[in-house]
Amino acid sequence: MANLLTAVRLLLVIPVALAIANAHLMMSWLLLALILIAIASDYFDGKLARALHTASARGMLFDHGTDFVFVTTALFALSTIDLAPPLLPLLIAVAFSQYVLDSYFLFKQKQLRMSFLGRWNGILYFVPIVFLATSRLPLLEDRQDLLNTAIIYFNYILVVSTLASIFDRAIAPLRASEN
């Protein structure tokens, strides 16, 4: 059941990304609703899996992999309309690859091993996506330039925090060997 919620989020990847890249493709309230459904599915899938005692390493990988695909694709779409640096989705791909490889191969874990900064980045990657959808609402049309500027600056902050996360994960084995 929890994996079904995750699958819903995965199915939203393409329509959300296309609607971000082309403002005329979907009504703004619908785009915002789809993004909020994706966020809700992300919030509840793990809770549901734990409540039903169906949580597993594979389910966690499916959940986090779906988050990665969703935010990376949406942020790439933002970059096509000059609201995110193209470097951001590339850095997220590096950080996610590092997360998976470190967890399974370096630390020989049976499930993903989260870092504090990586966890917060994973949450914060949704913020510019929500801001974009919100900025397109008719109620905020006169503030769209201001919100777009905020989105751009926030995405540059995400570039810095993603680089910090990559660096932190890269030196984690050194810290572990010292302990």
Q: pLDDT tens for residues 8-27?
A: 999 999 999 999 999 999 99
Number of domains in the chain: 1
Write out the residue range of the structural domain in which residue 64 sits.
2-171
Q: Is residue 178 part of a domain?
A: no
CATH, residue 119: 1.20.120.1760
Q: Is residue 10 part of a domain?
A: yes
Q: Is residue 126 part of a domain?
A: yes
Give dist(CA 101, CA 7) in Å, integer: 23
Q: Is residue 162 part of a domain?
A: yes
Long-range contacts, stretch 101-109, CB < 8 angstroms, 24+ apart: 102/169, 102/172, 102/173, 106/173, 107/176
Q: Is residue 117 part of a domain?
A: yes
Q: Is residue 177 part of a domain?
A: no
Q: pLDDT tens for residues 88-105?
A: 999 999 999 888 887 766
Q: How far apart are the first and last CA of the chain?
A: 40
Regions of the chain short of the pLDDT cut 70: 104-113, 173, 175-179
Q: Is residue 42 part of a domain?
A: yes
Q: Which residues contact 150 (CB under 8 A, 6 or more apart)?
A: 131
Q: Report residue 8: phi and psi, to 5°.
A: -60, -45
Q: Which residues contact 24 (CB under 8 A, 6 or more apart)?
A: none
Among candidate residues 52, 68, 53, the one with its CA nearest the CA of residue 6: 68
Q: Is residue 176 part of a domain?
A: no
pTM (2 decimals)?
A: 0.91
